[in-house]
Structure formats: structure tokens, C-alpha cells
Chains A and B, each alone.
Chain A
Amino acid sequence: MDGKKVKLSLEHISQSYVLNNRAFDAVQDINFDVYDSEFLVLLGPGYCGKTVLLNIISGLEEPVDGTVRLDGEVVKGSDPRIGMVFQKTSLLPWKTVMENVEVGPKMAGVAKEERRKTAQKYIDLVGLQGFEKSYPTQLSGGMKQRVGIARAYTNSPEILLMDEPFGALDAQTRYSMEEEIQKIWQSEKRTIIFVTNNIEEAVYLGDRIVLLTNRPAHVKAIYDIDLPRPRDTVSPEFLRIRKEISDNTDLAL
């Protein structure tokens, strides 16, 4: 596309598992490019294979077929340039907020003082100052997701995968988190691949939306969303796009 730099490309990604002695396809021949610094939304119905796809991009799983390229080079295994915000938050319950957030640079052997400084920056950015010494069990659902986001950013990845980060939140919290993630993305330009099954959320956040089919997931359509940010969720244009995508979406199984 005109002048945009391809950051990540998925080429013929397929994944299947053996279940009860039968092949079970989760993801089938997925191809798309992700541009540098764009906010890409992966939209798909429940159980269609979204998490499987993110696991493949992040290197947690190896696909049966296909390659992931980052800046043109094949990605093998987990790569520090690719970060992840997990669907289940996956905070480590035995670590405080600060210790959770600094875990990336700690594993990389960054000195304590330096990594704490970075961690503090992102703790402040997600609005959790004052909770550094709290344990995850003492936090609300929204706060846990913020910790997960700060943890991913603190490792300074070039690409951030976010797996339905707001899926478990109530509507009110969800709206404010959507607004915040957009602000963070605008101030800390990174490439984001954001998974959701919520069409409104997809249209509100995405530069582009990759619409996936039911399982086995493959790409059904790709939408460019050219609306100015922050988007007005009740403007006629917003509603039109929302309806267009909704009419084209498979019903969840």
C-alpha cells in the first residue's frame, strides 16, 4: 500500500491439532501484512482460532504450516521484539505490580535501577501509581489488565499482541480502557495487533480490521477504517461501517 512499510507478514499460516485421533483445524491458510505503527484489529467470532493465531505470531506455538516474517526475516520461537497482553491477564500472583511489570527486562538481565525506571514510567502511564506494592489478588479486573499492558510495554517490543484484553470487563470500564489504549498507542507508537470479538470495539480502535471466519479461521475481509480519532461511536459513518462488518460476520458457533 502507498508508502506504508510492512512490519510483519503472515504467510500461509495453518494450525491443526489431533483430537480424538482426528485432525482438528484451528487456523487455515492465513495471509496478511501488518504495517509499521498501525493499530490492526483481528475480529472474529468465539473459538475461531484467534488466540491460536496470536500464539503462533508470538512464537508460543509452532504452526504446522506457514511462516511469520518480522522486517522480512523469518521469526523462530519467541522474540523479544514481539510482546503479548494475555487474554487471561496471566499476572504472576506471587509478584507485586512492580515486580510483574519489570519481569521482561529482568529476564534480559537489565540492572534493577534501570528496569524499575522503565517499569515506573509505564505503571504511571496506565494510571497505577500507588499500587506498585500491591499483589494481583488485591486488584480489580481492569487494574489487572492495566498491569498486563504495562508489563508488555516495559519490555519495549516493536509489536504488541493484545488478546481480547478488555473481554472480561464491564461495559463502563471497557469504554474507558479502549480510550486509554488508544491514547497510549498515540503517545508510544508501536505496532499493535488487537484481538476482539466485539465489532464496535474493532471499529472504534482499528486502522484496519482483519475479519476472520468461523473455525477454522481464515481471512474473510480486510477493512480500512479512515475515520478521524477519537471516533464518535454514534456518527452515521461509524454506524454504517459497523453494520457493513456485522452483516459480513459469521455467527459464533
Chain B
Amino acid sequence: MSTKNTDIVLSASEQRERRKQILYKILPVVSILLLVALWIAASGGESSSFPSPMDVYDRFLRFMEKPIQKLSLWQHILASLKRVLIALLASWVLGISFGILIGWNKKANALLGPIFTAIRVVPPLAWIPLITIWFGTGEFPKILVVFLGAVMPVVVNTQAGMSNIDQQYLDVGRIFNANKRQMLLDFAIPSALDAIFAGVRTSASAAWMVVLAAEMLGGKSGVGFLITRGMDSGDLPLVLLSMICIGIIGAILAISMQLIERGVCPWTAKKSN
């Protein structure tokens, strides 16, 4: 192949690459516009009971003036977020520790693994009646339900990561005469971090889902409560407004998890750059 030829091929492929890049920037915008258009179409017509984007925006403005249950929209969002964050922190600390214990120590796994599996197969929402009987309807029982939903994926992924460590890393530890503590802290846990973070990511989305469900079942604050309130009072714009908030916050949570992962595991970030 002559150099001239490769030049042409290169620039053509470069052009194609650039066009692709532009396309990938445009497509998401197109899809959101399409969704809004569909929404407007679906809500069109006088008889439609489905609120339009304008109705939802009006509802938003009204909410800003008149709180629900003495709380503004932001305070409701904060109430949900507070529950989620407390439950998440607890689930990470306890879930990762427990996952490491049963993933690394075979005896601990034989002893505690079956108990964990038995608890794990019960969905977190099924705990609500029992937890309500035991702890009433305050803040703590809600956080506890969210914790139960969040801690399961953390434990499962941590355990999987810790029991499937690539032998070559452990061999390095042995060649350099690492003691048991060093083996765990310098070799095993770092090499399981990928798996642990997969659990952390899942826990964030699980916690967000469970908190909404828990709030819908009882409570006087939170975004889940807003949805129930909208439904009970036939206030559909409020329902849609809450759904949009849920979507946006869910996305922000997911992005935050990625940022945390990059902060804790800088080597994975460098790989993708």
C-alpha cells in the first residue's frame, strides 16, 4: 500500500469517526424531544385526563408557593435522600465487612452463609409488616427497610469478589512472604474492589427504589409519599412531577456512585481514559 492510499483511507475513516461522534451527541437529545412530543400528543385534547408538560410545570410552580404537609418539594426530596444515605452508609460498612468475612473465611461462610441466604431471598418490602409491628412507623423502621434492600447486593457481590480472587495476585503475596493480615488488606481486598463496587452501585439503585415503596406504604414526607398523595387526591400533575424528580435523583445517585468509584479506584478511571 502506498502512503498516499493510507492517507485517503485515514481521513475518510476520521471523517466517519467525527460524523459518528456528532451523531452520538444528537441522538440522546432527539430521543428526549421525542419523549416530550409523545407526552404532549398523549395529553392532547380537552377530554384527556393525562396532564401535559405545561400542567406539570404549573403544578411545580404551585408547589413552590404552597407546601404539602408543611414541607416544600425540596424538603420532601431531602427527606427521601436522608433515609437513603443513612441506609446506604450502614449497608456499605456492614455489608462489605460481612461479605469479606464470608467470602474470605470458609468456616465463617459455612456457619453464616446459609442464614444470610435464607434472609436474602425475602424481598425487603415483605419485611414491612414485621418491622412496623416491632418498631412502629417512625424514621428508623423506614431506614431499616431501605437498609435491608441495599445490604443484600453489597454482601452478595463482596462475597463473590472475595471468593474468586485471581490466584496470580495471591501468588505475588506469597512470593513476598505477606502475612495473613497483609494478604487480606494488600492483595485480597484490593483485587475484589471491582466486584465490591458493582455491589455498591446496585445498592444505590436498590435503596432508591425501596425508599419510594416504603414511603408510599406509610409516612408523611418523601417523594414516595408525594406520589401516594397525588394518587389519593386525583392530582395527576403531582404524580408526574414526583416521577420526574425520582428519575432525575436516581440518575444523580448513579452518577455519584461512579464518581466515588473513580475516587477510590483511580486505576480503573485511568484505564477508560
Residues of A at under 8 Å CB distance from B? 58-60, 78, 80, 83-84, 86, 88, 90, 92-95, 103-104, 106-108, 135-138, 155
- Are A92 and B175 touching (Cβ within 8 A)? no
- Are B172 and A92 touching (Cβ within 8 A)? yes
- Are A90 and B169 touching (Cβ within 8 A)? yes
Closest Cβ–Cβ distance, residue A70 to chain B (whole Å)? 15
The chain A residue sitting closest to B270, CB to CB, is: A135
Q: Once the chains are docked, how many angstroms separate the CA of A137 from the CA of B174?
A: 23
Closest Cβ–Cβ distance, residue B137 to chain A (whole Å)? 45
The chain B residue sitting closest to A155, CB to CB, is: B176
Closest Cβ–Cβ distance, residue A60 to chain B (whole Å)? 6
Closest Cβ–Cβ distance, residue B162 to chain A (whole Å)? 15
Q: Which of B176, B179, B186, B267 contacts A137 (CB 8 A)?
A: B267
Interface code B147-165, partner A: CB below 8 Å = 1, 0 otherwise? 0000000000000000000
The chain B residue sitting closest to A100, CB to CB, is: B172
The binding surface of chain B is classed by DSSP as helix
Could you give 7 example pairs across A and B, Cβ below 8 Å? A60-B171, A86-B168, A92-B172, A103-B176, A108-B177, A135-B266, A135-B270
> Knowing A78-B177, A108-B177 touch, does A90 contact B267 (C-beta < 8 A)?
no
- Are B168 and A88 touching (Cβ within 8 A)? yes
Known A94-B267, A135-B271; further 4 A-B contacts with Cβ < 8 A: A93-B267, A107-B176, A107-B177, A107-B186
Q: Which residues of A contact B270 (CB under 8 A)?
A: 135, 137-138
Q: Once the chains are docked, how many angstroms separate the CA of A136 from the CA of B182?
A: 21
Q: Once the chains are docked, how many angstroms separate the CA of A80 from the CA of B178?
A: 10
The binding surface of chain A is classed by DSSP as loop
Closest Cβ–Cβ distance, residue B249 to chain A (whole Å)? 31
Q: Which residues of A contact B179 (CB under 8 A)?
A: 107
Q: Once the chains are docked, how many angstroms separate the CA of A108 from the CA of B187?
A: 15
- Interface status of B191 (Cβ within 8 A of chain A): yes
The chain B residue sitting closest to A108, CB to CB, is: B177
Q: Which residues of A contact B168 (CB under 8 A)?
A: 86, 88, 90
Interface code B175-213, partner A: CB below 8 Å = 1, 0 otherwise? 111110010001100110100000000000000000000
> Knowing A92-B169, A107-B182, A107-B186 touch, does A78 contact B174 (C-beta < 8 A)?
yes
